[in-house]
Amino acid sequence: MKSGVVFSISLLGVATGVKGAATTTFPQASGETALPTPLVVSGSFDGGMKRYNRNPDTCQDQTETNEAAAMFIVEDGGSISNVVIGKAQGEGIHCRGACTLRNVWWEDVCEDAATFKQAAGKTSYVIGGGARGADDKIFQFNGRGTVSIKDFYAEDYGKVIRTCGDCTGNGGPRHVIIDGVIAKDGGPLCGINTNYGDTCRISNSCQDDGKSCDRYTGVVKGNGSSKKIGTGPDGSSCFVTNLTETCSGGVGSPTTTARTTTARTSTTTSARSTTTSASSGGTVPLYGQCGGNGYNGPATCAQGTCRFSNEWYSQCVL
Ligand SMILES: *[C@@H]1O[C@H](CO)[C@@H](O)[C@H](O)[C@H]1NC(C)=O
Ligand SMILES: *[C@@H]1O[C@H](CO)[C@@H](O)[C@H](O)[C@H]1NC(C)=O
């Protein structure tokens, strides 16, 4: 009866609107875009769930590249939402200042998925979305301030986020907040430098080996390499609450099980469609957006059905 118990917890999670659950299904792209240079975003950019690649491809695996190899460059205060980033690009997203990355999916991470370069006192947000295939880290945190990662899905990766081990002018503190993240087939959620005062706070998440933090001594570029000095919560830099190793159904993923159930999915979808489409006419093309918080377009699919992806995105799929 173990699965029965898990399932009823799952339903409760949906019914009461519990936050803190990543979606573990990668979306289908609504179309293709390939650009010769990075797309520079100031303000907000909504990709409509299209797949973005560079042409020519700028991925050179783990060879250190830079901003010029990115798919998107986001200026301070900018945001990107509803984008699929394909494999033919090197550096994903570079945030020059504070940024918000909402419902962004990296299908095959090259060097890293995103790099945060904001100043002290600023906060960047990753909300929803997911990444897979990162040989090393998914998120590279080179600036200062705080990066908050919520309801994100990580699969087949080295670390979810690492504060820079050996940057030019390295230092800190850098703070990481991880909540509602599901992470499978990879390493720790955080890599932090305790000598620079970094912190990582993990809550309501799942890592299928229970790996929370790796703690390092960071260095300034040219002064050797950073040294790993410990793992796990230590009461001063790594704080962990409600981290489970059971990534399908459990504390970190109350809605994962429920969303694979057809009945639940359609109930959730139609409820959301109703609330997000009050005054709109027309229909949504296949793989287009048909619902989500802040969405005001039509909710009727020209083809297929409207499937709930997460709080911010429902998509017309076959
Ligand atoms: C370089 O490393 C040494 C120890 O290996 C340390 O004492 C020194 O402060 C470091 N210098 C810088 C600029 O970080
Ligand atoms: C841990 O989980 C419990 C039970 O779901 C919840 O009440 C509590 O708020 C969670 N702790 C944090 C820090 O989110």
Of 244, 275, 297, the position where a domain reaches its end is 244
**pLDDT at residue 275 tops 90:** no
Three-class secondary structure of residue 90 per DSSP: coil
Structure confidence by residue, pLDDT tens digits, 213-235: 999 999 999 999 999 999 999 99
Do 311 and 208 share a structural domain?
no
Do 278 and 233 share a structural domain?
no
Rounded CA Rg of the chain:
19
CA distances (Å), origin 166, targets 216, 217, 238: 11, 10, 20
CA distances (Å), origin 253, targets 92, 111, 157: 26, 28, 19
Give the closest residue (by CA) to ligand 1 atom 5. Answer: 223
* Span 135-156, average pLDDT: 98
pLDDT value, residue 126: 98
Of 226, 244, 262, the position where a domain reaches its end is 244
Q: How far apart are CA 173 and CA 196, in angstroms?
A: 5
79 band by pLDDT with thresholds 50, 70 and 90: very high
Do 155 and 279 share a structural domain?
no
Q: Which residues of 155-194 are buried (b: 16+ CB within 10 A; e: fewer)?
A: bebbbbbbbbbbbeebbbbbbbbbbbbbbbebbbbbbbbb
Structure confidence by residue, pLDDT tens digits, 9-56: 333 333 222 345 799 999 999 999 999 999 999 999 999 999 999 999
Do 33 and 168 share a structural domain?
yes
Give the closest residue (by CA) to ligand 1 atom 6. Answer: 223
Q: How far is CA 52 from the centre of its chain?
A: 16
Three-class secondary structure of residue 109 per DSSP: coil
Q: Which atom of ligand 1 is nearest to the CA of 223?
A: 1
274 band by pLDDT with thresholds 50, 70 and 90: very low
Q: How far apart are CA 63 and CA 258, in angstroms?
A: 41
The CA 242 to ligand 2 mean position distance, Å, reads 7
Do 150 and 120 share a structural domain?
yes
Q: Which atom of ligand 1 is nearest to the CA of 220?
A: 14
Q: How far apart are CA 166 and CA 137, in angstroms?
A: 14
User: How many structural domains does the chain have?
Assistant: 2
Do 275 and 227 share a structural domain?
no
Could you list the residue range(s) of the whole structural domain that residue 277 is in? Answer: 253-317
Q: How far apart are CA 113 and CA 126, in angstroms?
A: 11
Do 265 and 207 share a structural domain?
no
Among 168, 195, 221, 223, name the best residue to mutate to test ligand 1's pocket (greatest count of ligand atoms within 8 A of Cβ). Answer: 223
pLDDT value, residue 130: 98
Do 50 and 141 share a structural domain?
yes
Q: How far apart are CA 23 and CA 153, in angstroms?
A: 7
pLDDT value, residue 150: 97
Do 295 and 262 share a structural domain?
yes
> What percent of the chain clears pLDDT 70, i.e. is strictly above it?
83
Q: Is 211 domain-assigned?
A: yes
**pLDDT at residue 105 tops 60:** yes
| Mean per-residue pLDDT over the chain, rounded | 85
Do 73 and 31 share a structural domain?
yes
